[in-house]
Amino acid sequence: GAVVSQHPSWVICKSGTSVKIECRSLDFQATTMFWYRQFPKQSLMLMATSNEGSKATYEQGVEKDKFLINHASLTLSTLTVTSAHPEDSSFYICSAPRYNEQFFGPGTRLTVL
């Protein structure tokens, strides 16, 4: 199979602090990963494409300086939410492609107080 994990599964932080979320492909290599954000009762919105060895590609309207993405290796992409505010509270999900489909991580619930 193809397994994607995320860490942490949930995090609570204070406004103004930074939070790092990890996405790992456990049994395969992923040169590309995708980051999505999902607000309650809404759809998944693509934030950015994470590329191993190069800069991430951000979707229109996503602040690249606020959502820092680093694809450090063929199995790890990280999303850092800098200077988090309550409006950044959301469900963050990553995915990686393999076997002609996307495999999603379990998601990270971020709550900013």
Applying CB under 8 A, the residues found at the interface with another protein are: 32, 34, 42-46, 49, 60, 91, 93, 95, 97, 100-102, 104-107, 109
Q: How far is the CB of 5 from another protein (least distance, A)?
A: 11
Q: How far is the CB of 26 from another protein (least distance, A)?
A: 14
Nearest 5°: the CA angle 40, 6, 3 is 110
Q: How far is the CB of 83 from another protein (least distance, A)?
A: 26
Q: How far is the CB of 31 from another protein (least distance, A)?
A: 10
Helix (H, G, I), strand (E, B) or coil at 22: strand
Nearer to another protein, 78 or 105 (CB): 105
Nearer to another protein, 18 or 59 (CB): 59
Nearer to another protein, 14 or 101 (CB): 101
Distance CA 53, CA 41 (A): 35
For tokens 């979320």, the residue is 21
Nearest 5°: the CA angle 60, 26, 99 is 70
Q: How far is CA 12 from the centre of its chain?
A: 16
